[in-house]
Amino acid sequence: MDILLQQIAEARTYLEQFNFHHARVGIVLGTGLGQLVQHIQVEKSIAYQDIPHFPEATVESHKGHLIFGRVNNVPVIAMQGRFHYYEGYSMQQITFPIRVMKALGIQQLLLSNAAGGMHPDFKKGDLILLDDHINLQPENPLRGLHSPAFGPRFPDMSCPYDKTLGSLLQQAALQHGVSLKKGTYAAVMGPNLETRAEYRFLRTIGADLVGMSTVPEVIVANQIQLPCATVSVITDECDPDHLQPVSIEEIIAVAGKADKKLSAIFAAVIGGL
């Protein structure tokens, strides 16, 4: 535990010399979702491998840079790519950047991801505001951390996604003429996509969409009392009775087409914070 606290402090100290401690909002950009950077007046971009104790992004669609800049004059930190359990990292490594951003002083966290849509009303390219989640990943980022320095050991998760941020995202979507639906996200380990039987199971337990990320970061955000909100892009339709093969290239392409809408909504919300 003391080692993790020291690592957080060392990463924070390194980033402070580049003014990252002035940021108010943290952003995590998911698979194929990087156009928000075009809305950022970038002041500093640092490769993850240059930051003390940061993992390296190994997924080809995740650039692996931490950016400090401004969106509509609001100082932000943006993760241009995230880490996943299927890459071989521990949950504490995956969520390390969230703790570092909190240590640097961010007050809100916005996350995005690409997900498979299981709800019959969800189509490719739809944007979904996460209302809740089901954690089916085999590890928890809070396991073993019982020092008060990390936050409460048993954080409440009755409302994991901040309602105020969610309302702001809905308002921004309405102003941009974008339909922003709501749904419950199931987090699985990956990296393989799901079988027909698994999609049926996930729908049965109450999930509307499925992906391989986000929930570890949200759990930690709740532990450290960092308000957060997540928008998913539906990249493939997961109807088990009419399931079609899908490739990662197709998923990235669909995410990229929807990214312009999502980035505009995020930029509008950040500008109003």
Q: What is the pLDDT of residue 18?
A: 97
Residue 229 has pLDDT above 90, yes or no: yes
Average pLDDT, integer, range 18-37: 91
Domain boundaries 2-272, CATH class? alpha beta
Q: What is the mean pLDDT of residues 153-159?
A: 97
Distance CA 37, CA 26 (A): 13
List the chain domain ranges: 2-272
Give the β-pairing of 41-47 and 65-71: antiparallel
Rounded mean pLDDT of 109-113?
97
Q: Distance between CA 12 and CA 52 in Å, rounded? A: 9
Share of the chain above pLDDT 70, in %: 98
Give pLDDT, residue 60. Answer: 61
* Band of pLDDT at residue 247, cut at 50, 70 and 90: confident
Give the contacts of 184 (CB within 8 A, at least 6 positions apart).
130, 131, 132, 133, 134, 206, 207, 208, 209
pLDDT of residue 255: 87
Task: In whole angstroms, give the CA distance from residue 101 to residue 225.
Answer: 13
Strand intervals (E) in the chain: 25-29, 41-47, 65-71, 74-80, 108-117, 127-135, 180-187, 209-211, 228-237
Task: Name 167's Cβ contacts closer than 8 Å, sequence gap at least 6.
Answer: none
Note the pLDDT tens digit of each residue in 46-87.
999 999 999 987 766 557 899 999 999 999 999 999 999 999
What pLDDT sits at residue 35? 86
Residue type, 185: Y
SS3 189: coil
> CA 177, CA 67: separation in Å to the nearest integer?
29
| Angle at 100 (CA atoms; ends 161, 72), nearest 5 degrees | 65
Identify the CA nearest to 222 among candidates 115, 133, 128. Answer: 133
12-to-8, 220, 225 alpha-carbon distances in Å? 6, 17, 18
